[in-house]
Structure formats: structure tokens, C-alpha cells
Amino acid sequence: MTFSQILFDRIEDIYARILAHPFVSGLTDGSLAQEAFQFYAVQDALYLREFSRGLSLLAAKAPEEDAAILFNDSAKNAIVVERALHGSFFAQWGLSSEQVLATPMAPNNVLYTSYLLRVAYERPFHEVLGAFLPCYWIYWEVGKALVSQGSPVPVYQQWIQTYASDTFAETVQRVLALMDRVAEGLTEAQRNHVSEHFVMASRFEYMFWDMGYQRQPWDI
């Protein structure tokens, strides 16, 4: 069993809850309120800007040139995806980029991005990789799980196809292969630290979709 497979086994229950969440299941049966998806998409655009900053830090800490190239490209693509995918959504909803950027981050978005950036600044490469891996891997798994069902809502179908695409799959597979290579040189204690970050970030992935479904407000 590869190290990445061991990691995913640790989040089996979290991933099952993600697939069962009404936000995710509502994408395929069309029951998800479009207001909830719009809230999520705006928050995701804000998230990806911070995720991109973290990927740049990950690239700077990379022990090999190919990994640095991979994450520098990913940092750029996080913004490109935001502009292409979310931009097409926002145009349909009559939202300008200025309106999106002026939107406050929801509580769970602040929690998730703050965690990722703290890890990216403070921890060694292998731990940062473990923290950033769920955003790649879980979205790919969700995309693959949903694409066979499709969606009656064009915007939802576009979202599903993006994360089930061969292009996204190739990127995720490269990150997974890197994780497994890096793990070969880690001690048991170092692997445990990677696993802890991987599990924590996976929890935040669940919380992010729940944030969208609830259109999470600030209570104070």
C-alpha cells in the first residue's frame, strides 16, 4: 500500500460524509439551492487566492526542481481557474470581480485558509504537502463520483466536469506521486505529522461545503 493510500484510508469516514452532504448530492439531483452555490462560488474564489499564495510557498520549499515547477504552475492555475470557471458563473449572476473581492470571507473560509498559510509559512515541505493535498485529491474524487450521474443544472454540470477532467486528473496524479516519493525518505514521526495535516485539511474540506450549504454568516 502506498503512503497516499494510507492517508486516504484515514479520511474514509470524512470522505463518505462529504459525498453524503446535501451540498454535494444536491449538485447531481439539482436540489441544491442556487443561492447556496453562488455563496460557495464566491467564497471559493476568495479561497483560491489564498491557496495560490500557499502553493507559491510550497514551491519555494520544494526539494527538487520538478516539484517547484509543479507548484508554481499550480499557483498560477489556481488564479486562472478562478477567473475562467468562477468568472463565467459571476457573469451569469451579474457579479463584478470588485463585488466578489469586496465580499467578506465566511468563518470556515477564514479558518481553512489561515490554517493552510500558517502551515505553509512555518512547517517543512513534507508537512505543507500533506496539508495542501486534500484540496487536490478530494475535489478529484468528488468530480469522478459525480460525473457519471451528471446534473440537470448547467452551472453544476460545468463545475463537475472541471474536477472530473483529464487535465485536473493529471495534476492530481503528479501531486500524489510526489507525496509517495517524499514519504519514502521520512521517518515514522514525520509521516505522522503529514497524516495529521492531511486529516485536518480534509475536515476543513467538509466544513467548506457545509459553509456553502448553510451560507454561513458571522454571528457577531
User: Which sequence spans correspond to the domains of the chain?
Assistant: 3-214
Half-sphere exposure of 54 (CA within 13 A, CB side): 27
pLDDT at 82 over 80: no
Q: Are 156 and 31 in contact (CB under 8 A)?
A: no
CATH 1.20.910.10 for domain 3-214, yes or no, is yes
Query: CA torsion sign, 65 to 133 to 107 to 158?
Result: positive
Is 170 catalytic? The answer is no
Name the active-site residue from 82, 127, 135, 141: 135
Integer Cα distance of 176 and 111 in angstroms: 25
- What does R_g of the chain's alpha carbons equal in angstroms? 17
pLDDT at 83 over 80: no
Count of CB atoms situated within 10 Å of the CB of 101: 11
Nearest to 42 by CA among 117, 104, 107: 104
User: Where are any strands of DSSP class E within the chain?
Assistant: none
Q: Are 15 and 141 in contact (CB under 8 A)?
A: yes
Task: Give the three-class secondary structure for 174.
Answer: helix
Percent of the chain clearing pLDDT 70 (strictly above): 100
What is the pLDDT confidence band of residue 81, given thresholds at 50, 70 and 90? confident
pLDDT at 138 over 80: yes
Integer Cα distance of 191 and 182 in angstroms: 10
Summarize the chain as % helix, strand, coil (round to 5): 85, 0, 15
What are the angstrom distances between the C-alpha of 109 and each of 67, 100, 209, 216?
27, 14, 10, 10
pLDDT (0 to 100) of residue 79: 84
Is 135 catalytic? The answer is yes
133 vs 86, which has greater pLDDT?
Answer: 133
Integer Cα distance of 46 and 55 in angstroms: 15
Integer Cα distance of 49 and 207 in angstroms: 18
Inter-axis angle of helices 65-81 and 166-184, to 10 degrees? 150
The mean predicted confidence, pLDDT, of the chain is 96
What are the angstrom distances between the C-alpha of 35 and each of 42, 46, 157, 205?
11, 17, 16, 20
